[in-house]
Amino acid sequence: MSSFEDADTEETVTCLQITVYHPGQLQSGIFQSIRFYNREKLCSSEVVKFGRNSNICHYTFQDKQVSRVQFSLQLFKKFDSSVLSFEIKNMSKKTSLLVDNKELGYLNKTDLPYKCMVRFGEYQFLMEKEDGESLEIFETQFILSPRSLLQENNWPLQKPIPEDGSYSSCCTQNTSPTEMDENEL
């Protein structure tokens, strides 16, 4: 038998591709500690933290506006699924995290869709998951975008939240009475 026949079967690996943008990224070196365009293998049991503290976070941002630990990603496998999924958790006490247009407060978490926009402050992250078979490892790959991801991908802009902290879509609709024919009911 040849070594080819004895070799372990190669598994595909789940990859989370993260395209990042910040308006000051070129002048301030915010992303200088992130290796772009290279795939990095991580253990699937690892909780991956993003923030400014290099002792705690796997991916750091050189910006005092970022919390020591801003958010974390963790892999899990849904009960009825063979593929890995990610959950994202807001670790910042001061800043909400927006996943698409769902606002996560401190310690709130949600499943990460296959493709979504994650935002806080002026940071924009387009996260896209590529499924794989391996349950032991996963990969991350960072891409630096030269322009705003919201505009580039035609993402809806976040509606402003009033100072009382609550937002209701009914408040933005026209509330003046309209005449209606009884047959339209």
Instruction: Give the DSSP letter string of the chain.
Output: --HHHHSPPP---EEEEEEEE-TTHHHH-TTTTS-BS-EEEEETTPPEEEES-TTT-SEE---TTS-SS-EEEEEEE-TT-SSEEEEEEE--SS--EEETTEEE-TT-EEEPPSEEEEEETTEEEEEEEE--S-SSEEEEEEEE-SS-HHHHTTPPPPPPPPTTS---GGGGS--S-----GGG-
Structural domain range at position 61: 13-144
Position 153 scores a pLDDT of 64
Does residue 121 sit within a domain?
Answer: yes
Segments of the chain scoring below 50 in pLDDT: 158-180, 184
Position 164 scores a pLDDT of 42
Position 101 scores a pLDDT of 87
Does residue 172 sit within a domain?
Answer: no
Does residue 165 sit within a domain?
Answer: no
What is the tally of structural domains in the chain? 1
Write the CATH number for 123: 2.60.200.20
Does residue 159 sit within a domain?
Answer: no
Position 154 scores a pLDDT of 61
Does residue 164 sit within a domain?
Answer: no
In angstroms, what is the C-alpha Rg of the chain? 21
Position 28 scores a pLDDT of 85
Position 31 scores a pLDDT of 95
Structure tokens at 57: 């976070």
Does residue 181 sit within a domain?
Answer: no
Does residue 184 sit within a domain?
Answer: no
Does residue 74 sit within a domain?
Answer: yes
CA distance linking residue 41 with residue 59, whole number of Å: 13
Position 103 scores a pLDDT of 97
Quick count: other Cβ atoms within 10 Å of Cβ 19?
19
CA distance linking residue 91 with residue 72, whole number of Å: 7
